[in-house]
Structure 1
């Protein structure tokens, strides 16, 4: 694109943003590829496929992976298409809460924004905690024990938690250094994920001496949940679907950085569905390769289904080190992108006066970076993950999977609210250049039903010890996803009734209002 064309595109983007009620505060330097890259990076098959592999293994076994991944990817892609249509019509940093407020009014925007914020905080926390866990395991293999990497159980997990705080600090620093740097990092991340997965696939195919049979990978069932076998199909196996539903999430980031993207009405829309599609395809090959290496089921079960234990049982330590290194770097890329998305959502929601201390979180510095929002989101992610410091009696931190569940519940509920509202509007909706045409009439209600189902599934106890009323009940085994999500929504609901409904009018309606709210340091 020539300089003249870039200038014309920039002018068109700023004009469209002004029509939606905002001045160009953030630096619009991201290309369409970089917009796709942040979503592809946040989905990060090098993160989710590795860190939550054990969830599917323990709750369903190979069939939860070989059949669960492709089947669950289909409704996720439908949700992505519905969101692509919305971001094309409304390319703003507020993303989904802005869409909800536009389509349904302030109260819809209010609750959508809070669900989205909860989800983004949780996904940042879960990715960075997972990165810290894999990093510490890698440290242990190299004999580096500063964070108890050579130990097991509670001491190891205590070390992981402190390493997690350091990872969060690193990602906050990267985000504060500049939007352009983050965009470049995300571009590198795409190639790291593609190249890294290619290397891992080659290792998993050619290095292990033996591989599992096709029959094992596509028909074998495992139930390590502790729940009875009669609960396998309707309770245990659905819990295993968290692997797919969690890994392929965070694609709303394309909307959150749309004010920083050139040609956002088209580029951000394509970024949403393409990041889902390519992640689903590449991730499936990766998961199959991992599962085909399993020939010692007892060893994997003894390691609670961890993908790290799968690798250790299948090959020498040198190869395990290589795979963990590739995965850790990918997870670090992912965590940085997650914090970028969370901070932009916090900035946009604060810009409209919806968060306590809004004037603080909506400030940007001289380089147009919302520094305060970055630090605030990192702090919230750390606070949410504190229960992970206290593992259960087996030395397993159930809290990690609780945070994962919070991310899925918060994000997908936020996704589906504007999808429902767009469906309710019918043909009166004014689409952008990228749209679903008449297909929205079945896509949107399908997406709503699917999110309702997974929300119920992922608030359920994941182990008998986490079920209230049972003799073995322990708070360290509780899935606290419904407590956190429900508690926050109850609090902001009361806030709405008691006063916010009189002060929060949705997204600011004019550029003049925005200029009055934002102080540039």
Structure 2
């Protein structure tokens, strides 16, 4: 029997955790998290954040109206683009497996100011995304429980989801991991079962419709203009893989496991999204009725036709699990980002946000903010639904902006001599992949912000860009006035030249 076979598994895990702790200490930190999240749970966290069911069910009608059946190709195009981003992120997290994701990565690649703005933009986008996800669950809950959706019921449903997500997150990493795996299993099996049944029993079209550009209306610039506008269904779908890195201090052997989990999130989540979208497209009997508004909710129409009243409720129950899992993962990501800020004294209330819940090893006050801010945004819809739309409009563009501030920082570092030194590297392909990933990101952000409603007021036409400008502008003003980056002695900008700012005398930052 080999020595490896005789090795005590508990001793092996203890040795592995000691090695992870030592590697983190070399980066200037000591973690209070517990490494209770397996690679599979880490992948499940990214998958439920990406959530193909939430993404497709929410935007299917919009995509079909805007670009017709060929809009499905955006799930392929964006999937490839986001995979390139995930590869770049994989190199970064492999070298810097620190909790908080984009903020600590930008800090090590570029510096304190750039990191602060990257984290700010991404945090605001995360909080508004949580609000958008829980608010969007309202109509599905109404259908599940058999009542007519209203503003009050939608808000109530959103608040219930926020409370449930907060409660599960407060129970600790092990419970978060368990909930993520359950959510992933339910969503994936549900997507496969529903999509498979639709393809077998409700297929009204052949695959040729995926190339049919006839009948798409509302765009004077021809089909290319319509197709570009339909990109949102793909752009909205493929973020979430970065959540795998947000919990880097809760995963054993993160330098190897997290890059794998990120790529798996893109592969599996993307394949599931394409499968769900394809099954729905081929099951819609009358595209014209959807495009002209006669069938305002084609997803519900298809489900009722295929499964009847009772079967549809079962499907909707899985959909609600998907919404809860998505909110859970988003809240976890936001809380880890706030904690990461607080550990470096980079945010108001740092003393609170870096505190841990005894016995649970999670930051409760950061989690509370990750629930309260979305709750306030949702409650604001009582006074102005348009204001809610304006706030949530920043969500997707803000996520992409935060992503590509890291991608740009990685490219800048490469050009200054950074050679990724983690367990996962792209080797000689790194520079090319980084450039193409950044180019894709710029294209996606321009496409999202591009005005497409010339008959609307200018501020409505530029709503997405204006929302992003306001969100980033508030952060920039605070950065200039309060200078939060001066409060921290944590290492920054060391990817290229070695540590620029040394840790404190104990060798560990606060």
Structure 1 and Structure 2 fold alike (TM over 0.5): yes
Contact 2:88–2:434 (Cα < 8 Å) also in 1: yes
Q: Give the counterpart of 1:468 among 457, 462, 465.
A: 457
Equivalent residue number for residue 105 of structure 2: 99
Contact 2:29–2:509 (Cα < 8 Å) also in 1: no
Shift of 1:305: 5.1
Report Cα offsets for 1:40-60 as digits up to 9, x if no partner. Answer: 111111211111212211221
Q: Which segment drifts farther, 437-446 or 298-307?
A: 298-307
Contact 1:57–1:222 (Cα < 8 Å) also in 2: no
Equivalent residue number for residue 79 of structure 2: 73
Equivalent residue number for residue 275 of structure 2: 285
Equivalent residue number for residue 474 of structure 2: 491
Equivalent residue number for residue 237 of structure 2: 247
Shift of 1:26: 1.0
Shift of 1:460: 3.7
SS in 1 for 2:449: coil
* Cα distance between partner residues in 2 of 1:185 and 1:48: 19
Q: Give the counterpart of 1:320 among 312, 336, 354.
A: 312
* Cα distance between partner residues in 2 of 1:229 and 1:390: 35
Q: Give the counterpart of 1:150 among 123, 148, 151.
A: 148
Contact 2:158–2:378 (Cα < 8 Å) also in 1: no
- 1:264-275 equivalent positions in 2, closer than 5 A: 264-275=254-265
Indicate how the Cα distance of structure 1 residues 379 and 481 shifts in structure 2: closer, same or farther if over 3 A, else same. Answer: farther
Contact 2:44–2:184 (Cα < 8 Å) also in 1: yes
Indicate how the Cα distance of structure 1 residues 457 and 268 shifts in structure 2: closer, same or farther if over 3 A, else same. Answer: same
* Cα distance between partner residues in 1 of 2:343 and 2:403: 20
Q: Give the counterpart of 1:440 among 430, 435, 438.
A: 430
Shift of 1:515: 7.3
Equivalent residue number for residue 140 of structure 2: 134
Equivalent residue number for residue 193 of structure 2: 199
Matched, 1:229 2:220: yes
Indicate how the Cα distance of structure 1 residues 417 and 19 shifts in structure 2: closer, same or farther if over 3 A, else same. Answer: same
Contact 1:176–1:374 (Cα < 8 Å) also in 2: yes
* Cα distance between partner residues in 2 of 1:53 and 1:173: 31
Matched, 1:302 2:285: no
Indicate how the Cα distance of structure 1 residues 430 and 201 shifts in structure 2: closer, same or farther if over 3 A, else same. Answer: closer
Shift of 1:124: 1.8
SS in 1 for 2:236: helix
Report Cα offsets for 1:6-54 as digits up to 9, x if no partner. Answer: 0111001101111111112111111111111100111111211111212
Indicate how the Cα distance of structure 1 residues 438 and 504 shifts in structure 2: closer, same or farther if over 3 A, else same. Answer: farther
Equivalent residue number for residue 52 of structure 1: 59
Shift of 1:316: 2.6
**Unaligned stretches of 5+ in structure 2?**
1-7, 492-501
* Cα distance between partner residues in 2 of 1:73 and 1:34: 22
Q: Give the counterpart of 1:456 among 408, 423, 446.
A: 446
Contact 1:211–1:293 (Cα < 8 Å) also in 2: yes
Number of equivalenced pairs: 488
Equivalent residue number for residue 122 of structure 2: 116
Indicate how the Cα distance of structure 1 residues 308 and 220 shifts in structure 2: closer, same or farther if over 3 A, else same. Answer: farther
Shift of 1:381: 1.6
Q: Which segment drifts farther, 351-360 or 372-381?
A: 351-360
Shift of 1:263: 0.5
Indicate how the Cα distance of structure 1 residues 446 and 221 shifts in structure 2: closer, same or farther if over 3 A, else same. Answer: farther
Shift of 1:505: 4.2
* Cα distance between partner residues in 2 of 1:193 and 1:516: 40
SS in 1 for 2:355: coil
Shift of 1:391: 8.0
SS in 1 for 2:316: helix
Q: Give the counterpart of 1:355 among 347, 354, 362.
A: 347
* Cα distance between partner residues in 2 of 1:506 and 1:102: 13
Matched, 1:414 2:407: no
Equivalent residue number for residue 324 of structure 2: 332
Q: Give the counterpart of 1:373 among 358, 366, 370.
A: 366
Equivalent residue number for residue 82 of structure 1: 88
Equivalent residue number for residue 144 of structure 1: none
Equivalent residue number for residue 497 of structure 2: none
Equivalent residue number for residue 472 of structure 1: none
Contact 1:343–1:377 (Cα < 8 Å) also in 2: yes
Shift of 1:189: 2.1
Matched, 1:19 2:26: yes
* Cα distance between partner residues in 2 of 1:361 and 1:478: 38
Equivalent residue number for residue 260 of structure 1: 250
Shift of 1:283: 1.5
* Cα distance between partner residues in 2 of 1:37 and 1:52: 22
Report Cα offsets for 1:445-471 as digits up to 9, x if no partner. Answer: 111122112222222456556x325xx
Shift of 1:161: 2.0
Indicate how the Cα distance of structure 1 residues 511 and 256 shifts in structure 2: closer, same or farther if over 3 A, else same. Answer: farther
When the two structures are superposed, what TM-score results if normalisation uses the length of structure 1?
0.86
Shift of 1:506: 7.0
SS in 2 for 1:458: helix
* Cα distance between partner residues in 1 of 2:221 and 2:350: 50
* Cα distance between partner residues in 2 of 1:44 and 1:420: 26
* Cα distance between partner residues in 1 of 2:107 and 2:208: 50
